[in-house]
Amino acid sequence: MPLLEVEGLKVYYPVRSGMFRPKRFVRAVDGVSFSMEPGETVGLVGESGCGKSTLGKALVRLEKPVAGRVLLNGADLGALSGRALRRARRNFQMIFQDPYGSLNPRLTVFSALDEVLALHFKLTKEERRARAAKLLDRVGLRAEALDRYPHEFSGGQRQRIGIARALAAEPALIVADEPVSALDVSVQAAIINLLDDIRRETGTAFLFIAHDLAVVEHISSRILVMYLGRVVESAPSRELVANPYHPYTKALLSAVPSVDAGGRSRIVLPGDVPSPLDPPSGCPFHPRCPIARERCGRETPPLASPGGSGRLCACFYAGEMSN
């Protein structure tokens, strides 16, 4: 049984319009479906504004979908509220992108961790403090950090505290929303390796959101590629990087720096990502696609397996694009 099942998830934001104009919506997430197994790390990539972070927040109930379902261990999270939702929150947590803004500057590290521990576990304060010290040790910080405030730490250390806070509830799923994009390159590898170590030791599943395919390839067993609110390709990491099917995935990979002189040539896409307020008809990628045909502007390709390959791609001509 999958740990997480996402079915046709949509997150739309209403936009103000004139009194006599029809209501309009920003289609941030527009019908996303996928699943995750226990202990799996799935990468989610795409350009800025494609809906990655909105999707992650919808999974942990920080955004409200207008349609679709999110099932965690078979339970419909959208049907939960009040005490039932608070109990369920122990099973899913989030690591935020900004290590500076995600911690309350008025709370010590222990207070930040204790909020989670006191909510989900029946422990004395001394037991919670001991548990908090173990959490810090797990992420590479000393117990003496418990009585310090966030401003006393570097960005990488703050992100480690954010990871410890997410781990405090012992969740089955952690959504990591670009957890290294705000950090120095020298710190990024250490944080990525830490998350991978945690997955192996605890069996926690991770949805790792990023815009850097090189980072996602390193940590993920499977990659989802998003464009304009939709998943356009899904495949095992090595297969996707070695042989991308979707022309958008090809363009993303061509932008990854390589030491191989015979690597992929750079694919420069024309124009910008269309507005999710007014997405194009048919395939959302067709205005920028180098192989678009007339059909692409009329019909929306389903996320399907081209030629029975077992991989998923939303492109009518994916078979022609494979290497």
Domain that holds residue 291: 247-323
Predicted confidence at residue 310, as pLDDT, reads 75
Predicted confidence at residue 125, as pLDDT, reads 95
Tens digit of each residue's pLDDT (9 = 90 or more) over 298-315: 999 999 988 767 799 999
Asked if residue 42 belongs to a domain, the reply is no
Predicted confidence at residue 214, as pLDDT, reads 82
How sure is the predictor about 264, in pLDDT bands with cuts at 50, 70 and 90?
low
How sure is the predictor about 31, in pLDDT bands with cuts at 50, 70 and 90?
very high
Asked if residue 94 belongs to a domain, the reply is no
Query: What average pLDDT does the segment 120-131 reach?
Result: 95
Whether residue 11 has pLDDT greater than 60? yes
> End-to-end distance of the chain based on CA atoms, in angstroms?
34
How sure is the predictor about 263, in pLDDT bands with cuts at 50, 70 and 90?
low
Per DSSP bridges, beta strands 205-209 and 41-45 are: parallel
The amino acid that residue 276 corresponds to is P
Asked if residue 191 belongs to a domain, the reply is no
Asked if residue 109 belongs to a domain, the reply is no
How far is 262 from 69, CA to CA, in rounded Å?
44
Predicted confidence at residue 256, as pLDDT, reads 74
Tens digit of each residue's pLDDT (9 = 90 or more) over 147-197: 999 999 999 999 999 999 999 999 999 999 999 887 888 888 899 999 999
Asked if residue 306 belongs to a domain, the reply is yes
Asked if residue 307 belongs to a domain, the reply is yes
Whether residue 89 has pLDDT greater than 60? yes
Dihedral (Cα; 76, 80, 83, 87), 10-degree rounding = 20
Predicted confidence at residue 257, as pLDDT, reads 66
Whether residue 12 has pLDDT greater than 90? yes
Average pLDDT, the chain: 90
The b-or-e profile of 45-72 (16+ CB within 10 A means b, else e) is: bbbebbbbbbbbbbbbbebebeebebbb
How far is 43 from 283, CA to CA, in rounded Å?
23
Predicted confidence at residue 260, as pLDDT, reads 55
Q: C-alpha distances in angstroms, 307 versus 224, 245, 319? A: 19, 12, 7
DSSP 129: H
Asked if residue 83 belongs to a domain, the reply is no
Q: How many domains does the chain have?
A: 1
How sure is the predictor about 320, in pLDDT bands with cuts at 50, 70 and 90?
low
More confident residue, 183 or 42: 42
Q: Which phi and psi angles does 197 have, rounded to 5°?
A: -60, -40
Whether residue 283 has pLDDT greater than 90? yes
DSSP 59: H
Asked if residue 318 belongs to a domain, the reply is yes
Rg (CA), the chain: 21
Predicted confidence at residue 124, as pLDDT, reads 95
- Output the six-digit token pair for 150: 């966030």
